[in-house]
Amino acid sequence: MAKITAWERVERARDPKRKTAIEYIDKIFDEFIELHGDRSFRDDKAMVCGLAKIGKQNYTVIAEQKGRTTKENIERNFGMPNPESYRKAIRFMKQAEKFNRPVVTFIDTKGAYPGIGAEERGQGEAIAKSMFEMAKLKVPIISIVIGEGSSGGALAIGVGNKVYMLENSIYSILSPEGYSSILWKDSSRYKEAAEKMKLTAQDLYELKIIDKIIKEPELEVVEKDGKNKSKIIVDFDKICASLKRAIKKDVAEMLTKTSDEIVNERYEKFRNMGEYILIS
């Protein structure tokens, strides 16, 4: 099998048919109740927050949510959170800490919404505050990149004790198109940019940015149209089963530690990451 290029990974991560956060939440957790609003401005549907359960263990879930159809994407702002999304997330992070619930975040966005209204309401401050609050949260945090993880919009909910990436997801400071436009003043070099950016799960695992790659096994499905046509799709059930096992295992291990140990390990993780990048 030919090696999949970085740009092909980008295309897979952006596939409009790719599973969204809500689909992962419904499959992984035994129960989920969505909660709404930042208690300041409004409820932004680009971010889904709520309470979940696996077995007897309670969780707080925070997820960036894209739509499937044009109508859904407009409702979800194409998965680009406004400041109130991050303030809603902070609200439920603090609630999780109060009730000693581990936090699981699902990252899937092309970036925070860059509109005038978002900037007027403090987009940059909201992103920074979200990262600041996550850094000192006294409960375990697992962050999972399930699709397109780009820019501060993704980093805002990515400060986890453990960071996973799906095999065909990407995680980067900006898009390959933006990178090539800024660096080379030529957006047509996006494929070359994708290779240089080291944005794939394998690249980031080797750089020690993430802790785990979740494989995306494929299935051959025969369509029932009388023509015996087949197509290849990812095995969603296996992906979710792998995620569920990883979450249960890592959370159980982290819950044996004190709150100070959880915070310090998260701090050291990102501190060492910065030193590794600087040295390399």
pTM: 0.93
The stretch 260-270 carries a mean pLDDT of: 95
Give pLDDT tens digits for 73-91. 999 999 999 999 999 999 9
> For residue 29, which of 104, 85, 91, 138 has the smallest C-alpha distance?
104
* CA dist., res. 246 & res. 36, Å (int): 27
- Whether 200 is in a domain gets the answer yes
| Helix 123-135, helix 259-279: angle, nearest 10 | 120
Looking at residue 189, the DSSP 8-state letter turns out to be G
Give pLDDT tens digits for 153-184. 999 999 999 999 999 999 998 999 999 999 99
pLDDT of res. 123: 95
Confidence grade of residue 56 (pLDDT, cut at 50, 70, 90):
very high
The stretch 239-257 carries a mean pLDDT of: 97
pLDDT of res. 276: 55
pLDDT of res. 254: 97
Q: How many domains, in total, are found in the chain?
A: 1
CATH number at residue 205: 3.90.226.10
- Whether 190 is in a domain gets the answer yes
Please enumerate in sequence order all residues whose Cβ is within 8 A of that of 74, keeping only pairs 6 or more positions apart, or say none: 67
pLDDT of res. 187: 87
* CA dist., res. 183 & res. 173, Å (int): 13
pLDDT of res. 280: 46
CA 214, 106, 132, 183 dihedral sign is positive
> Which helix H or strand E contains 233, and what residues bound it?
strand 230-234
> Is residue 226's pLDDT more than 90?
no
- Whether 1 is in a domain gets the answer no
Please enumerate in sequence order all residues whose Cβ is within 8 A of that of 56, keeping only pairs 6 or more positions apart, or say none: none
pLDDT of res. 220: 65
Give pLDDT tens digits for 30-43. 999 999 999 999 99
The stretch 195-221 carries a mean pLDDT of: 91
> For residue 252, which of 188, 176, 147, 162 has the smallest C-alpha distance?
162
Q: Which domain holds residue 17?
A: 6-279
- Whether 219 is in a domain gets the answer yes
CA 207, 209, 29, 58 dihedral sign is positive
